[in-house]
């Protein structure tokens, strides 16, 4: 009676994508994993019922084909990065915003019934006027990464209203968990581990005083799953974070405590595109998604460092 | 004793550009008129003290050269248009947003001291929740044109804050006046005159019931001049309109009355990207620019139709 929901995960090979594929493949829905490239070990260990499609977001024809029969799209693809700061604003528009908008048009044509876009709660707001930050806070990014996320959000909203593409924008805090690698300057914990493994001191940016909102990956994939299922979430932009702020230096010390080791440190100077503090108000996520983070920071850290 | 301010007008060959060049060339500042192409008659009738530079916004090298010695930049270039609706969202990003952001980087490098960006008060807000619309109203465009204007505004704001580029964003209502031609679907009055001259009936979109804010061109160029000179305008986004709403049908009848002729009409159907009403709240412009519109609609219409 009726077909099962087919969920397409675009950007399936990344840190969030891999966890999300595992999470959703364990449920009743059919899952299609789409990525520009796949790590061979990851691809080989996928359950056989997961469809694997290798296709680039910038390839309109491949995307139209990758969208066939999908009722739900989760869009995780992101080519820009907070770590690259603002050196590549123009190419971020060309390589990220342009294919995302083209893809939105393809989703409208494919009559997708739910479009979940993962945005960046850590960068779209810019310098916060209040903490925790509600979704109604002005969005004035201070980085090209945050700006491209905001711009794509706005196109998602416009296409959603003009063409009846029911979307959910999730503004995600700093996710962490097993399998996160240090790529494109993202991920504090893998960055620490990588520097330490290389025998290099850990670079302390802005004195380690910045405050961030760290969300354990299983809580994030729970929120994505809820945003696919919840009728109340349609056409909404929703913060997804732990709701708690932590000093970067406290996180470094917590990692040291769990590992039972101490990292050498060096002063990494200042980075202007970094805001002093970012903690997301997650009231709306609780109300609309019936979701709450369930993993304590320390428990998440233990699971991350165990792997 | 000190050099005179050199003002660069980018997009000088358009309707607003031509009036602005004339307005500023009559003052003490030196004016450089920059455009991708120049109408030969317009170029030939420019005062000899106006520098003319033919250069495309998409040509980074030509732009760096066009920016030499400029202290003030007025950016009028716009390749998208409300009339084209949403058929070209992707190319609007590529052809409009990309070169605008690249140009901003060049303006930072050239240490421009005032960057005046003309945005679209008629399209960035989308469907208004209140009338007249203040600058604090949410910006949720319903057209690719409005979206590209909003996106460029946001990059202007980010570059302004990150790199100390003092900007003024002017969200301009529907300008009208002598010399406006019907290009890219813009300009109600030239559209009426063109249809009538071709012996074609005037197309009435959305029953002619839409309400718009019409600003006479001399009032607009006054506002641009004030935004160059006013210290209080730095880093601000300011509505520039008449502050009064007029039904499209009333405007058509006013044109008929001034001309002493009656246009044939036909139903032009509905256009979804059109909002029902758009009237700008110009309190901030009065306060920050010391500016008010001085030309009544009827007087503006008489001057427009006299030429």
**CA nearest A92 in B: which residue?**
B98
> For chain B, what is the largest distance between any 2 Cα atoms, rounded to a whole number of angstroms?
62
Looking at CATH, the fold of the domain delimited by A6-176+215-241+279-293 is given as Rossmann fold (3.40.50)
CATH of B6-176+214-241+276-294, one of 3.40.50.720, 3.90.1150.10, 1.10.287.110, 2.60.120.260: 3.40.50.720
Is A158's CB within 8 Å of B150's CB?
no
Per-domain boundaries in chain A: 6-176+215-241+279-293
- Kindly report the length of chain B: 307
Per-residue pLDDT of chain B (307 residues; tens, 9 = 90+): 345 689 999 999 999 999 999 999 999 999 999 999 999 999 999 999 999 999 999 999 999 999 999 999 999 998 766 655 566 899 999 999 999 999 999 999 999 999 999 999 999 999 999 999 999 999 999 999 999 999 999 999 999 999 999 999 999 999 999 999 877 667 899 989 888 888 899 999 889 999 999 999 999 999 999 999 999 999 999 999 999 999 999 999 999 999 999 999 999 998 766 788 999 999 999 999 999 999 999 999 999 998 6
B213 bridge partner residues: none
| Mutant choice from A89, A96, A167 vs B, greatest count of B C-beta within 10 A | A89
Interface predicted TM-score (ipTM) of this complex, two decimals: 0.91
Distances (CA, A) of A187 to A80, A291, B179, B272: 14, 24, 56, 43
Four-residue CA torsion sign, B146, B152, B158, B161? negative
B201: exposed, middle or buried (Cβ count in 10 Å: 0-12, 13-18, 19+): middle
Chain A to chain B Cβ contacts (< 8 Å): 60
B81: exposed, middle or buried (Cβ count in 10 Å: 0-12, 13-18, 19+): middle
Distance of CA B250 to the CA centre of its chain: 23
Strand boundaries in chain B, DSSP class E:
6-10, 30-35, 51-54, 72-75, 114-120, 167-172, 174-176, 202-204, 211-212, 214-216, 236-240, 246-247, 265-267
**Radius of gyration, CA atoms only, chain A:** 19
A85 touches chain B (CB under 8 A): no
Is A98's CB within 8 Å of B94's CB?
yes
pLDDT digits (tens, 9 = 90+) for A27-68: 999 999 999 999 999 999 999 999 999 999 999 999 999 999
B226-285 residues touching A, CB cutoff 8 A: 272-273
Distance from CA of B131 to the nearest CA of A (A): 21
Chain B residues whose beta carbon lies within 8 Å of the beta carbon of residue A90: 98, 101-102, 105
- Are B291 and B250 in contact by the 8 Å Cβ rule? The answer is no
Q: Residue A95 — φ and ψ, nearest 5°?
A: -90, -15
Of residues B97, B142, B157, nearest to A93 (C-beta): B97
């Amino acid at each position: 009676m009726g077909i099962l929901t087919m969920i397409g995960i675009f950007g399936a090979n990344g840190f969030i994508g891999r966890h999300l594929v595992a999470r959703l493949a364990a449920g009743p829905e059919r899952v299609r994993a789409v990525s520009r490239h796949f790590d061979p070990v990851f691809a080989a260990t996928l359950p056989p019922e997961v469809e694997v499609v290798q296709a680039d977001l910038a390839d309109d024809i491949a995307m139209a084909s990758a969208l066939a029969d999908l009722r739900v799209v989760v869009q995780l693809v992101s080519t820009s990065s907070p770590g690259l700061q603002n050196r590549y604003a123009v190419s971020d528009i060309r390589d990220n915003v342009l294919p995302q908008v083209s893809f939105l048009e393809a989703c409208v044509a494919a009559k997708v019934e739910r479009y979940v876009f993962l945005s960046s709660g850590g960068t779209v707001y810019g310098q916060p006027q209040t903490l925790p930050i509600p979704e109604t806070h002005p969005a004035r990014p201070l980085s090209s990464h945050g700006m491209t996320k905001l711009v794509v959000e706005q196109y998602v909203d416009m296409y959603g209203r003009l063409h009846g593409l029911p979307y959910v924008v999730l503004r995600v805090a700093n996710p962490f968990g097993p399998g996160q690698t240090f790529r494109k300057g993202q991920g504090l914990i893998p960055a620490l581990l990588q520097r330490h493994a290389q025998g290099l001191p850990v670079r302390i940016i802005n004195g380690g005083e910045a405050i961030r909102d760290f969300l354990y990956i299983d809580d994030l994939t729970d929120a994505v799953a809820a945003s696919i299922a919840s009728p109340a979430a349609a056409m909404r932009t929703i913060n997804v974070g732990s709701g708690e702020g932590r000093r970067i230096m406290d996180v470094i010390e917590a990692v040291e405590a769990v590992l039972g080791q101490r990292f050498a440190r060096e002063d990494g100077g200042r980075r202007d595109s970094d805001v002093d503090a970012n903690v997301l108000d997650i009231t709306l996520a609780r109300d609309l998604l019936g979701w709450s983070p369930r993993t304590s920071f320390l428990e998440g850290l233990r699971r991350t460092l165990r792997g």
